[in-house]
A and B are shown apart, each in its own frame.
Chain A
Amino acid sequence: MISEIRKEILSNIEKEMIISQLTKGKRIDGRGLFDFRKINVIPAPVEKAEGSAFVSLGKTKVLVGIKVNPAMPFPDTPNEGIFVINTEFSPVASPLFELGPPSEYAIEVARVVDRIIRSSEMIKLDELVIIPGELVWMINIDIYALDDNGNLIDASLIGTLAALYVGYIPRVEVIDKDRKKIEIIKEERTPIPLKDMPISFTFAKIKDILLLDPTRIEENIMDARLTIAVNNKGEICSVQKGEGGGFKLEDIHLAKDIVIKKSNGIRKIINDQLVKKPRGKEAWNEIRRLSYGEDEES
């Protein structure tokens, strides 16, 4: 029901134009069917967060922040750290989002991102233990949509990857193991232990045409959605089909082939920006420049 409300009314003429162009293999923003929009990753703008990233995917923008805190481990995994992924799709990002508890859609996105991170074993949870069985690090990853112009799933995952990559854990000293007394030394930081960088690709199906990285208007008229994620080794590490329509077997094969072919390229685009782009105070200059639309080639 909620996914119905998410859709806006689009005029028939606009809809027909988009579809007729798609049948010729063209998209209204000039991209090829299997091109991503421009990916901009700005690492670590939020100084109060233990990790953060601003990501724009064309005109879609997200801000992801990480807070880490000591917590009790789950009883079934006493020697593993914890991570929790939460999405906040507030009305800042879209007239279709509402205040209040997360919508079905927001929860789906959070769970898809969570599954991709978990299946790829990206975070080395066994290295996040403070006192075995008693105290571990809990990593809270909060994804804020700032401007929804389509494909929040991939933008959210990229933001999460980037925030984790620039994120840190403060040094902790165990003072009294039995009483669980610890001291956190915020100034001494070690990177969050990571071992993989999964990449996701979200496709839309409009009529019988498959396309990558749908914009908001394409999402509006899509019949079905498919997300495939792939890890460093080239293994598929998560899949999610969404919306009311369906996919043919050959669509799925085609999507999978594109994912395998393109994942290293996308991973490089993200990695390069994590290394080169400014952080902290200077990161805001970049965000300002991007948000002001001086970088509009999507």
Chain B
Amino acid sequence: MTIVTKDNIILLNEKGRRSDGRKWNELRPISMVVGVLERADGSAIVETGGTKVLAAVYGPKEMYPKHLAMPDRAILRVAYRMTSFSVEERKKPHPSRREIELSKVIKEALEPAVILEEFPRTVIDVYILVLQADGGTRVASINAASLALADAGIPMKGLVTAIAVGRLGNQVIVDLNDVEDKYGNADMPIAYIPSTGEITLFQMDGTMSPDLFDKCLEVAIETLNKIHEMQKEALKRKYLKNKKD
């Protein structure tokens, strides 16, 4: 079954290959590097194909203004921003409604993993900068932010791992690129904490049959476990490097 967009981009060919030649469940090359910034308390850069995301974490630190502090726990703040040149059309630097919504859902994806009760009256800031966008920036952001939080030494119940799954016709696909995100039939980003089994980000747009919906979730969890291993490896690499020094 071949699926073609209206401007003749082949999303899926008769051999089951996608626009960039991948199989339905094949991930783009992923690179994760922890501790890339000098100034931030924790940082990570995550690349998924053409998508490049940098995350920096500061804190726990004193909350200003003080009345926003919580007496029993830390507050997690997340700002997701895209560079103006990360997309085809220049994005004006001031935050768009999309960036504000994404900041919120990313924060809520990370919150369940962070043991905020350890640091009452403080704030933990997570800043995410998309250096280049090619589909899946929110899930790359979650993967990067979770690594940066761990790098900052913030106690967590586990790493948060994220991936987007979706649908082209009747075919489930994993790790959507820009074109698939735009022209595919459905896009479902999911974040998951493997160590607690909680799903902490769950969105979908497009349409999906209940059967395919189940299949997507199943495939997503399978993939997330793989990405979780990559995250752990990335953290270990930094730890081992420091040990060597």
Please report A residues at the B interface, Cβ cutoff 8 Å: 45-49, 52, 59, 61, 63, 65-67, 69, 86, 88, 90-95, 99, 101, 140, 142, 144, 146-149, 284, 288, 291-293
Q: Contacts A92-B54, A146-B54, A291-B33; is A46 near B85 (CB within 8 Å)? A: yes
- Complex partner residue of A48 from B45, B54, B87, CB under 8 angstroms: B87
Confirm or deny: B194 has a beta carbon within 8 angstroms of a beta carbon on chain A: no
Stretch of B14-22, B113-121, B128-136, B202-210 with 4 or more beta carbons under 8 angstroms from chain A: B128-136
Confirm or deny: B84 has a beta carbon within 8 angstroms of a beta carbon on chain A: yes
Q: Which residues of B are found within 8 Å of A47, using beta-carbon distances?
A: 50, 132
Q: In the complex, A52→B86 CA distance in Å? A: 10
How far in angstroms is the closest Cβ of chain B from A217? 12
- Cβ-defined contact, B125 with A63, below 8 A: no
Kindly report which residue of chain A lies nearest to residue B50, judged by CB atoms.
A47
- Cβ-defined contact, B47 with A92, below 8 A: no
Q: Which residues of chain B (129-165) have a CB below 8 Å from chain A? A: 129, 131-134
Kindly report which residue of chain B lies nearest to residue A51, judged by CB atoms.
B85
Q: Which residues of B are found within 8 Å of A86, using beta-carbon distances?
A: 84, 93
Confirm or deny: B4 has a beta carbon within 8 angstroms of a beta carbon on chain A: no
Q: In the complex, A52→B84 CA distance in Å? A: 12
- Cβ-defined contact, A90 with B131, below 8 A: no
Q: Which residues of A are found within 8 Å of B241, using beta-carbon distances?
A: 292
Q: Contacts A69-B90, A148-B39; is A291 near B45 (CB within 8 Å)? A: yes
How far in angstroms is the closest Cβ of chain A from B45? 6
Kindly report which residue of chain A lies nearest to residue B128, judged by CB atoms.
A92
- Cβ-defined contact, B129 with A144, below 8 A: yes
Q: In the complex, A292→B131 CA distance in Å? A: 17
- Cβ-defined contact, B36 with A48, below 8 A: no
How many residues of B are in contact with the other chain, CB < 8 A?
35
Q: In the complex, A66→B87 CA distance in Å? A: 11
- Cβ-defined contact, A140 with B90, below 8 A: yes
Q: Which residues of chain B (31-69) have a CB below 8 Å from chain A? A: 31, 33, 35-40, 45, 47, 50, 52, 54, 56, 58
Q: Which A-B residue pairs are the 4 nearest by beta carbons?
A: A65-B85, A49-B85, A67-B90, A291-B36
How far in angstroms is the closest Cβ of chain A from B57? 10
Q: Which residues of A are found within 8 Å of B56, using beta-carbon distances?
A: 91-93
Q: Contacts A48-B88, A49-B85, A144-B83; is A91 near B125 (CB within 8 Å)? A: yes
Q: In the complex, A90→B84 CA distance in Å? A: 13
- Cβ-defined contact, B39 with A94, below 8 A: yes
- Cβ-defined contact, B131 with A63, below 8 A: yes
Give how many A-B residue pairs fall within 8 Å (CB-CB).
95
Q: In the complex, A49→B36 CA distance in Å? A: 23
Q: Which residues of A are found within 8 Å of B24, using beta-carbon distances?
A: none
- Complex partner residue of A90 from B85, B89, B90, B127, CB under 8 angstroms: B127
Q: In the complex, A47→B178 CA distance in Å? A: 13
Q: Which residues of A are found within 8 Å of B134, using beta-carbon distances?
A: 48
Q: Which residues of B are found within 8 Å of A90, using beta-carbon distances?
A: 81, 127, 129
Q: Which residues of chain B (82-132) have a CB below 8 Å from chain A? A: 83-90, 93-94, 125, 127, 129, 131-132
How far in angstroms is the closest Cβ of chain B from A84? 10
Confirm or deny: B10 has a beta carbon within 8 angstroms of a beta carbon on chain A: no
Q: Contacts A91-B127, A92-B54; is A66 near B81 (CB within 8 Å)? A: no
- Cβ-defined contact, B33 with A95, below 8 A: no
Q: In the complex, A149→B86 CA distance in Å? A: 24
How far in angstroms is the closest Cβ of chain A from B28? 12
- Complex partner residue of B52 from A66, A149, A284, A293, CB under 8 angstroms: A284
Extra contacts besides A90-B81, A147-B39 (4): CB < 8 Å: A48-B132, A63-B131, A95-B39, A101-B94
How far in angstroms is the closest Cβ of chain B from A141? 9
Kindly report which residue of chain B lies nearest to residue A148, judged by CB atoms.
B39
Q: Which residues of B are found within 8 Å of A45, using beta-carbon distances?
A: 131-132
Q: In the complex, A34→B36 CA distance in Å? A: 28
